[in-house]
Structure 1
């Protein structure tokens, strides 16, 4: 079997309303789907992390930089291909967009391997430790509105996400430390005293401001405080973890095993959040997962993007060993964006329908059992939303 063509499908559409987080507002939804074709008619699908113009830049890397390196290679030799591409690109980017581009291709190669074997990816990895995974719903995005309007909306939206059946919810921060504490209080008021909630700063604070917000999250019994400071600030992460009760989480902006080794050896995370569509794909994710578990750091995958990303993560969550194990082990969660996303909800020929699953099951999502990642995109949908 040989790789004959690699196609980047960059999708875009207008969103029903503008949303934001601590770094920016955005009014368009995008996704970057990668298709790897072979001479035996087996096609693999993957996804690259990165919205908007980042996706367009990654499309060039996928099709014009990486594709010529691996045309004619056997797609089953995915680890050989991974190291070939990484070594050739090492002088030009050990992190960032080259790794995002490689991630989408690598995921597609795993999809091909699963289809050739007639097995879901979790079987190729070593089997399923669980046949379903609990999901948490995030929302409570920032808008161009007053603090008081944010407070009222966050309280209502948090309660609504709880009532959808999700086992926990996650809010955004980013109005400034004092106002963010008010938002966190509103979320706690909305979900009640016993429901898990998490707060995501998207690395907008200095360490001192993160301590201010983190102490409030301690009092509110938040489950984790995500990306409180810049991903480069390893000392800040370590200080926050030592000084706060709330779990410190992060890592979505880190790449490959070498970047993750530095984070883990620094002991600055209670919960690791690798992003498979960015850090180097499934091949590298499995190495990062092993590093995390070697450091006794539990993993809750960062999940952002289309239904391809969601399905890929479901396969990985199924195959994730419990840490440390026992009768009632610590279990991972599926991250799910509750805001409108047609590239997740309408992309597939046979939709996952996560919200319906969560409501019917009391918070759980089934692991796809089809070969590879277990899902197939609708080609007419890809054409309808393609950026040309």
Structure 2
């Protein structure tokens, strides 16, 4: 079988209310779904939520011709060819375009073999993955934490046993909220926190030091992604692990932080960091340094399920929490794009089951995309 067509679905889903974090607010969810179709009509799906219109343009202008008429089983060769076609943009939008195509070809290759994506990636080590609720989110026009306790209670009722809070408003308020959620969860719950690059390292240190009673497993993006000195300063003074890397486009961007021993949890996003082929290199690098990988997950159901399969294959790391790494990030905010193949289910033990069907294990019907589609293009051989 060879690749006969590439379909680009640019989706936008308005939200019932504006939400965000300490850095940005947004009133919609947006992503690019990439459908790779083989000569028999079978489809594989990929996604990138970062700059979807620009990624679509790059696929159409630079990447498609190197993929069409090719065998999707040749994943490594095709990935290298796409990276060459991307040129020097190894950390920007071109790599998000590569990521979406690579993800789709992995899904298609697994479907052609009749196996789950996790099998194609080397085999699942677990059939259920511990998930953490990524939320609550800030809201404008009032105190941003005003609904956090109520929403966190909802996550716990839904079955989650781990929560990652958005933070970075004011150090005293940040600490008070983290401690309040810890009381709500009890001692056995797993609690993480994301500053979303909102503070200088010194301000992040002040907030984090006041959060001691919250018993955080990790603190995410306590400084800007390229601030190696800031991460290094914080790593020497904070007890929780430091996490980051969701904006990185390649494994090479993680290495300086690993060499400096100041990033404990690596968070590549499959939709940004060159797809499953690119993140596979991050996984290999992490194993050399004995660090856990917890993929950042944003966008829609395709990226979610790609991460679910990947996490199922990752080695366990014990880091003092109630359960060992790895975890799956589960976007707990309003997100119609996560419902395109049915809302993923959280089991009673706080895990998500790994699909056993071919590829991603989900089916996306064209009519489900139509209400959210703002543009659709098809590129043929």
**TM-score interval for Structure 1 and Structure 2 normalised by the shorter chain:** over 0.9
Partner of 2:263 in structure 1?
269
Alpha-carbon separation, structure 2, partners of 1:364 and 1:124: 22
Confirm or deny: 8 A CA contact 1:138 1:169 kept in the other structure: yes
Of 75, 79, 83, the match for 1:78: 75
1:44 aligned partner:
44
- Structure 2 partner of 1:66: 63
1:36 Cα offset (Å): 0.8
Q: Residues 217 and 246 of structure 1 are in contact (CA less than 8 Å); yes or no, is this contact kept in structure 2? A: no
Partner of 1:382: 369
State how 1:341-352 maps to structure 2 within 5 Å. 341-345=335-339, 347-348=340-341, 351=342
How many residues matched? 373
Deviates most, 132-141 or 62-71: 62-71
Give the structure 1 partner of residue 285 of structure 2: 291
Give runs of aligned pairs for residues 348-359 of structure 1, distance below 5 A.
348=341, 351=342, 353-354=343-344, 357-358=345-346
In the alignment, the residues of structure 2 paired with residue 201 and residue 338 of structure 1 have an alpha-carbon distance, to the nearest angstrom, of 17
CA distance in 2, matches of 1:167, 1:98: 37
Cα contact 1:306–1:343 (8 A) shared by 2: yes
- Measured in 2, the distance between the counterparts of 1:96 and 1:178 equals 36
User: What's the CA shift for 1:193?
Assistant: 4.2
Structure 1 or 2: larger helix share?
1
User: With CA pairs under 8 Å and 6+ residues apart, which has the higher RCO, 1 or 2?
Assistant: 2
Would the alpha carbon gap of residues 183 and 212 (structure 1) be closer, same or farther in structure 2, given more than 3 Å must change?
same
Query: What is the alpha-carbon root mean square deviation over aligned residues?
Result: 1.9
| Bigger mean CA deviation after superposition, 283-292 or 190-199 | 190-199
1:333 aligns with 2:314: no
Match of 2:357 among 354, 364, 370: 370
Segments of structure 1 that go 5 or more residues without pairing to the other structure are none
Q: What residue is the counterpart of 1:27 in the other structure? A: 27
1:161, 1:66 → 2: CA distance? 41
What CA distance in whole angstroms lies between the structure 1 residues aligned with 2:293 and 2:180? 28
1:108 deviation in Å? 0.7
1:151 deviates by: 4.1
In the other structure, the counterpart of 1:88 is 85
Deviates more, 1:169-178 or 1:99-108: 169-178
What is the distance in 2 between the residues matched to 1:111 and 1:343? 18
